[in-house]
Amino acid sequence: MSRLQGKVAIITGAAKGQGLAEAKLFAKEGAIVVITDISEDGINRAAVEINETGGTALPIVQDVSSESDWKKVIKVAVEEFNKIDILVNNAGIPSRKNVEEETLQEWEKVQAVNSTGVFLGMKYAAPEIRKAGGGSIINISSVYGIIGVGGYAAYHASKGAIRSLSKTAAMDFAKDYIRVNTIHPGIIETPMTQDLFEDVEALNWLKGVTPWPRLGKPEDVANGALFLASDESTFVTGAELVIDGGWIAH
């Protein structure tokens, strides 16, 4: 149980859902986790939970779309723990509107959090990961960064941007031993999707498109992130890990 022993990991959007599952698993595997979220109460609660169960978590309040917040997070992480090995750009917000329904304001907000946040995270963490001798960046996209289902214009665009941005960053950073990979979850049961899981019609649709006999949990994504964060994936970069119970394989 020490696949991340000695590593320092930053995980954004870690107050709940997949980010919290990743933070708990990484801490259990020996990483020091710097966990950030826009929700102050939420991220403080997450840190208490991790620290009470033997992990080491430092909570920081952060809006991932803010450049000054990113500078603060990197500075504090390095001051406290001397280095950064792993960055998980997990924070994200949904929008369920088609092209005509979407407002410019909401479009810009979704791009700012979901894709500009990933750009800023890599921009400010990469110099520190380079100084540490290399490491791993994991950007959380979605199956909606690969396929289209309709009705999610801004969200799909933001997740597609993460996919291609990650590939160019993987090219740029390879010489520094910094790996950059994306995870593409299917619909996973978290606070973001709770309403879908409570809607009989949506749930039946989801079961219909998912070949695997159960639906996705945050821990399924966290396990994929653990592999990409660990030294076991040292030769994996620019890759896309789809975690969707087989949904988009057909």
Q: Which residues are catalytic?
A: 155
Q: How far is the CB of 86 from ligand NAD (least distance, A)?
A: 16
Spatial neighbors of 59 by CB under 8 A, at least 6 apart, are 35, 36, 37, 43, 44, 46, 47
Q: With respect to ligand NAD, which residue has the nearer C-beta, 75 or 96? A: 96
What's the CA gap between 92 and 142, in Å, rounded?
Answer: 10
- Alpha-carbon torsion angle 115, 164, 208, 18, nearest 10: -40
State which amino acid sits at residue 119.
F
What's the CA gap between 99 and 120, in Å, rounded?
Answer: 26
In the DSSP assignment, the letter for residue 188 is B
Q: With respect to ligand NAD, which residue has the nearer C-beta, 16 or 179? A: 16
Q: With respect to ligand NAD, which residue has the nearer C-beta, 182 or 233? A: 182
Q: How far is the CB of 169 from ligand NAD (least distance, A)?
A: 17
Look up residue 220 and give its two tokens: 């399924």
Q: How far is the CB of 29 from ligand NAD (least distance, A)?
A: 19
Contact residues toward ligand NAD (CB under 6 A) are: 12-13, 15-19, 37-39, 42, 62-65, 90-93, 113, 140, 142, 185, 187-188, 190-193
Q: Report the DSSP pairing between strands 86-89 and 56-61.
A: unpaired
Sheet holding 135-140, edge to edge: 56-61, 32-37, 8-12, 86-89, 135-140, 178-185, 240-243
Q: With respect to ligand NAD, which residue has the nearer C-beta, 18 or 237? A: 18
Q: How far is the CB of 237 from ligand NAD (least distance, A)?
A: 20
| Contact (CB, 8 A) for 216 and 239 | no
Q: With respect to ligand NAD, which residue has the nearer C-beta, 175 or 204? A: 204
Q: How far is the CB of 200 from ligand NAD (least distance, A)?
A: 18
